[in-house]
Amino acid sequence: MPVEIITPPNPPPPLAPYSSGTKAAGFIYVSGTLAIGTNGETLGVGDAREQTRVVLEAVKATIEAGGGTLKDVLFNQIFLKDMSDYAAMNEIYKQYFNEHLPARYCIQSPLVRPDFLVEIASTAYVG
């Protein structure tokens, strides 16, 4: 099965050896996405709403680079540094997923840097 590497326009530098996304058999898999700027800086420090917006814009850009839209998302995996940010994350999340509601889970987990508050990985189907 051929696998296509997906790179959105102006991606931030990766923090480890991974691709922004991959596409195979009509599915797009978006790596865990963090609020990282194009120079590697953390965006929205201390603001879960802003980090959620940055993350979902990056997820959207990766899916669009693979030929899809957010309406093609089937599943989101959401990681919060602190569950006290759950309501703030959901406030922004529902602006991106309001009529189309993918399956998802949300857990509390330490993230790669202490200033990251939100990470989201997504799976979409465009086949």
**First-residue to last-residue Cα distance in the chain:** 14
Domains of the chain: 4-125 (3.30.1330.40)
Q: What is the pLDDT of residues 95-123, one digit of tens each?
A: 999 999 999 999 999 999 999 999 999 99
Q: Does residue 124 carry a pLDDT above 90?
A: yes
- b/e map of 25-53 (b: 16 or more CB within 10 Å)? eebbbbbbbbbbeeeeebbbeebbbbbbb
Tokens of 7: 């790179």
Categorize the per-residue pLDDT at 81 as very low, low, confident or very high, splitting at 50, 70 and 90.
very high
pTM score over 0.95: yes
Where residue 1 falls among pLDDT bands split at 50, 70, 90? confident
Per-residue CA distances from 112 to 5, 6, 17, 69, 81 (Å): 23, 22, 14, 27, 10
The pLDDT of residue 97 = 98
Q: Determine the average pLDDT of the residues in 53-57.
A: 98
Per-residue pLDDT at 54: 98
Ramachandran category for residue 6: left, alpha or beta (phi over 0 → left; psi -120 to 50 → alpha): beta
- Check whether 14 has a pLDDT greater than 90: no
Six-digit token pair at 126? 């465009």
Average pLDDT of the residues in 50-72: 98
Strands of the chain, DSSP E: 4-6, 21-24, 27-33, 73-80, 103-108, 118-125
Average pLDDT, the chain: 97
pLDDT of residue 125 exceeding 90: yes
